[in-house]
Structure 1
Amino acid sequence: MYWLSQDLSFPDYSETSEEGIIAVGGDLSPERIILAYKKGIFPWFNEDEPILWWFPHDRFVLFPENLYVSKSMKKVFRDKIFTYTENKAFREVITNCSQAPRKDQDGTWITNEMIEAYCKLHEMGVAKSIEVWQNDELVGGFYGLDMGNVFCGESMFAKVSNASKAGFIQFVAKYHKKYEVIDCQVYSEHLASLGAIEIPSDIFLNYLDSQE
């Protein structure tokens, strides 16, 4: 297992484990996180673990042109059930994501350290949030990092049915010309139902603006 030093660098992709872990340790400084995402790497770890950096062999992504909107979701938009904003409540979104129950997970990987790190990235204009409102109440949303022509989605939450789906669909439809691909990291049924698929990691790297 490759342990990071204080240097801002990551090992060669050949160091990636069978599970998809490429490195351990380091810190969550904005500089290191940005470097990681530029290289297709992201942090994902539990509170009682060292920082784990991941580079999945298969990447779960959505190509905007493949976005699937079901009849029931089209009705949600026709009925204007929700309203949407961007970057109006980033801390509230990431905090709600950290508290959302997850299938087969006892706790959360969005620790206080992670929240503060991504809030710093938000202040820098790198991390962005999408908020979904109903009757002036925040009922859903998601956040991620803007990597130029790739949006790296991190986590989403919903307090009412269809809220996170509606926010995601609205975002993809709005920015389908800006982003060539939406990074969803690892497989989920939720996003697969919207058209996300798995592709080899080397193909995913071709979409990133810059690599070292």
Structure 2
Amino acid sequence: MPQPLRLLHRLDATPDAPFPPPERALADPDGLLAVGGDLSPSRFLNAYRSGIFPWFSEGEPILWWCPSQRAVFRSDGVHLSSRLRRRLRNSGWAVRADSAFAQVVAGCAAPRAGQGGGTWITDDMQAAYLALHRLGHAHSIEVFDAEDHLAGGLFGLSFGHMFCGDSMYSVESGASSLALAALARRLRDWGWPLIDAQVPNAHTRRLGVESWPRGRYLAALAGLRDLPPPPGHWRLRFGEWPASALVD
């Protein structure tokens, strides 16, 4: 067993068992906190509500993370480039929610160039997200083109006044960026200030992601996770947005 795993808290088979404090996460690799457990809905929600998320590859044990720097979008801070805005104005694209959850998760799980054919969204992870969706905790934001074909989207978990994004993908260029902009606009309308993006990358940096120290993110999360969400079904509350309404 690699040395870092020997130093980790090992989760037992009790789904509701607490995680160790995030501050105990390793510095190398940054944020690795615990190993083992399962992907049951109760453990998933316990993790996300504690600022922790699973991230592992096929053949690895379940690994749980809370990095020292957290990628966070402000719901009023997602920026689309001028070039993409111009292209979207007359695209005929539309954005919906929870109308193609399984397809979005499968799209995010598909191997991408530079990943060596692998994916962290394993079959077990896909099954876990589908279970969370059936329970009303996991949601997708989908972009459909003018012919009503799925062009891309994103998915994540929602609780309180918090949305934790897990992954995004595009079949057509710009679709995932539009999905994120639509999510941010709707959350801003609801008074939800933040979107957790876990770990920054070049794409999210271009869209306006910020890197927050772990303590700052955990403090913000604690103030949002128990607030009552608006009533009603997520899909109906989100509505349908034409791309032109999101870029003007």
1:166 to 150, 153, 178: 178
Matched, 1:31 2:38: no
Matches within 5 A, 1:53-72: 53-72=64-83
Matched, 1:195 2:208: yes
**How many angstroms does 1:69 deviate by?**
2.4
Aligned AA for 1:171?
L
SS, match of residue 206 in structure 1? helix
How far, CA to CA, are the matches of 1:202 and 1:102 in structure 2? 34
How far, CA to CA, are the matches of 1:63 and 1:123 in structure 2? 27
Greater fraction of residues in helix: 2
**How many angstroms does 1:52 deviate by?**
0.3
How far, CA to CA, are the matches of 1:80 and 1:147 in structure 2? 33
Match of 2:12 in 1: 5
**How many angstroms does 1:177 deviate by?**
3.6
Q: Which moved more, 1:42-51 or 1:164-173?
A: 164-173
**How many angstroms does 1:151 deviate by?**
0.8
Q: Deviations over 1:48-73 (max 9, x none)?
A: 10000000110011112222222122
Contact conserved, 1:16 with 1:55, CA < 8 A, in 2? yes
Matches within 5 A, 1:96-111: 96-101=107-112, 103-111=114-122
Match of 1:138 in 2: 150
Contact conserved, 1:149 with 1:207, CA < 8 A, in 2? no
SS, match of residue 94 in structure 1? helix
The sequence identity of aligned pairs, in percent, is 37
Gapped runs of 5+ residues in structure 1?
none
Match of 1:180 in 2: 193
1:17 to 3, 19, 26: 26
2:165 to 153, 165, 172: 153
**How many angstroms does 1:174 deviate by?**
2.1
Task: Tell me the TM-score normalised to structure 1 length.
Answer: 0.94
Contact conserved, 2:31 with 2:65, CA < 8 A, in 1? yes
How far, CA to CA, are the matches of 1:102 and 1:50 in structure 2? 25
1:204 to 191, 207, 217: 217
How far, CA to CA, are the matches of 1:15 and 1:206 in structure 2? 16
Q: Deviations over 1:22-71 (max 9, x none)?
A: 10000000000000000000000001100000001100111122222221
How far, CA to CA, are the matches of 1:26 and 1:89 in structure 2? 29
Aligned AA for 1:142?
L
Contact conserved, 1:142 with 1:157, CA < 8 A, in 2? yes
SS, match of residue 88 in structure 1? coil
SS, match of residue 50 in structure 1? coil
Q: Deviations over 1:2-27 (max 9, x none)?
A: 11112321112232111211100000
Task: Tell me the TM-score normalised to structure 2 length.
Answer: 0.81
Q: Which runs of 4+ in 1 moved over 3 A?
A: 102-106
